[in-house]
Structure formats: structure tokens, C-alpha cells
Amino acid sequence: MDVRELWEFERAHGAHTYEPLDIILTRGEGVWVYDTEGRKYLDALSAYSALNQGHCHPRLVNAMIEQAKKLALTSRAFQNDQYPLFLYRLTRLTGFDAALPMNSGVEAVETALKLARKWAYVVKQVPLDQAEVIVAENNFHGRTITAISASTEEHYRKYFGPFTPGFVTVPYGDANALEAAITPHTAAVLLEPIQGEAGVNVPPAGYLQTVRTLCERHNVLLITDEIQTGLGRTGKLFAFQHESIRPDIVTIGKALGGGMYPVSAILADRALMDLFVPGEHGSTFGGNPLAAAVAIEALNVLVDEGLIERSAELGEYALGKLRRLSSPLVKEVRGKGLLIGIELMPQAGGARHYCELLKERGLLCKETHENVIRFAPPLVIERETLDWALDQIISVLEA
């Protein structure tokens, strides 16, 4: 079968859970990807920020190959020599005492929620099975039953109930509403520092600082979901650092595996992490030697190549250039670092049309929440390449 026949086979025999652009990719290098006909595109989605280090980074490819030759998987029933090295690198870089690795981002969220609930019952003395977690409207923490139970997106929820109880929803960015929702049963507040899937929604300045203060005042844990915003995407190692706070639990993933392997984790200090005891939580693949080796090198690349600093510098430059865009189609440009959302006016007819036009120009973006173009290229992008990409966006929206 040729590639088009294979694509039709996929449509006939695969689940229709995505609606991709009409393009079939076959290889990638750095910020560039190539389709089956040899055409070249700049990847400005980065697999939802999983590719901060770019496609097929040579150091990551080498780390994966070398470790796969030796030992790829062993149960956590036995020790392996890469897992402690991973913990050492991750905790030294992030400043947290301990980490617990999983695989996907939503697994990290589930892990954080379990830890917060146990803390509520064992430490805060909330009556058993009555703990509550406050979440924000329009959040995205994944698509498991528990994650969508915390969601307000009807498309994610319809037909999938009954839902996991224990979530209280408040408007994003409204600290007063959040404080009003806190009760003696509140275990934690779970927030994205920037809501990526909702359209790159940036909260008001000082919001996270206020939330941190409220959590301390009311004896509530603060969990920040940094799966998309963490590891350099917003110009800091973590997006919460823009407001100089420190959460109790942080969830990370995506770029932790460098686009090579699914790796996620939660970060917390020792007293909190030690609430978990053997048998309460685990994962067959979490912390396996291959994942650990790849994640170590993914973190090393971020630091060694100055990708966090590059995201800050180029993100400020890109936002400045896009905010000077003169088009009646554009309602707002927002973001931090190289996580940028371009919200279009309703009369523009939806963002997908413009993503399709950009694809024809060799730039791959993704619409989110119908009217927002999400622009998030790999952090390895060069200034000259970034200029070319921004020029394509400006040309399409000003045409």
C-alpha cells in the first residue's frame, strides 16, 4: 500500500479520537519535519510542548540507543542503576526533595491527587472519603475519568459519567472566588500556571502568589500542573517561577522525555512524598532504565544548550512582533516564552482555516478552543527561523 492507502486504512480501522491536518509526516530533525512526499515544514506545535529539545536530538537518540542495548525495562521490584541517577538529576535541578516517576502526564496528575487526598486524611484529619480539590474552569489535566471529572469542557465529559466526586470548580484567575470555595474538607488547589489547552490563558499578575498565600493560610496544598508549561517552555524552568512561588506538588511530563519516550513525574518534598508506602501506588514502566536514561539527557540538553534562556529571549521577541500585528481578525495575542496563543475574532471563522493556510506555507500550528492558534515551536529554534515563522503568521492574518 502507498501512504495514502495507509492513511485510509487508519481511518477505516483506527479510533477517530483526533482530527489531524491533511499531512502525513515521516521524519523530523530539530524544528523541521518532512512529509512522505519530501516537503519540509516547521513544527510550531512541538507535540504540545513534548519536543522542547526538538525532533530526534542526537544526544537523546544516542542515550536511548545506548541504554536500550543494555537494559530497557525491569520491574521496580528490583533496583536498576539509572533510576537513582534520574532522581539525582531531577531533584538537584528542580530543588524538590523527591520525585515519583510515571509515564503519561495524566498519570502524574492522578498521582498528585492521590498524594493530596492521603495528606488530607492522615495529616489534616479530613473525614475519610470527604476530601475536596479545587480546580479552575476550562482546565485541562488529561482525559481519564478522574481528569474529566475535574473538567468543565462538555465535549470531554458527555457520555462518560458517572464522574469521580470531590472536585470544586472556580473561575480561573479569580483569587476571591477560590478563597470562598475553601472549606475544612479542602485538600488541595490544582492549577495550570498558564492554561494551554484552553487557549493559552495567562492569569492576572500576582494571581499565583495570592493563591499560594491562601493555601498557606487555610492549610491547603497547592498543586501546579506543569506538564505543558514546565521545563523551559515559558522562559523559566517552571511557569510558577514567574511569580516566585513554590508549590507543594508539581506535575511534569512531555518534555521530560525529550520527545523520545513517555516520562512523567510528580515533585514534592520528603515529608509529603513519604506518605506513600509500598503497594499504594506504582507503575510497570514508571522509572524504568530506558525512561530514566532518556530523561536525564533531556534535562541535560535543556541546561547545556541554554534552552530555557532562549525561550525567554525569543518568546519576548515573538510576542512583541505578533502584538504589532495589524489585522481585524486578531482579538488578542498572549503567552509567555515560546507558548503563544493568537485569539481570533469570531468573524474570522475559526482558527483551523488559518492553520490549514499556514500548513500550505510550510508552518504547522494547531487550533485550540476553536478561535485560538497555538504557536509553540521547539526551544532549539534559531532567531532567523523564528522570524520566518512569524512572517508566515503575519502574512496570513494580514492578507
Provide the pLDDT confidence category of residue 369 given band limits of 50, 70 and 90.
confident
- Give 21-41 pLDDT, tens digit per residue: 888 899 999 999 999 999 999
Give the active site residues: 140, 225, 254
Ranges of CATH 3.90.1150.10 domains, the chain: 3-53+306-398
Q: Which of 203, 202, 206 is nearest to 243 (CA)?
A: 206
Q: Which three cell numbers stand for residue 19?
A: 482530527
CA angle 67, 225, 188 (to 5 degrees): 125
CATH tag, 3-53+306-398: 3.90.1150.10
Architecture of domain 58-304: 3-Layer(aba) Sandwich (3.40)
Q: Which amino acid is at 260?
A: M
Q: How many residues does the chain have?
A: 399
- Could you tell me the pTM of the whole model? 0.97
Q: Which amino acid is at 230?
A: G
Angle of helix 289-304 relative to helix 83-94, nearest 10 degrees, comes to 30
Strand order in the sheet with 25-29: 25-29, 32-35, 40-43, 363-364
Query: Among positive and negative, which fits the CA dihedral 136, 140, 142, 143?
Result: positive
Ranges of CATH 3.40.640.10 domains, the chain: 58-304
10 Å CB burial of residue 298 (0-12, 13-18, 19+) is: buried
- Give 243-302 pLDDT, tens digit per residue: 999 999 999 999 999 999 999 999 999 999 999 999 999 999 999 999 999 999 999 999
Q: Which three cell numbers stand for residue 36?
A: 512522505
How far apart, in whole angstroms, are the C-alpha atoms of residue 393 and residue 398? 8
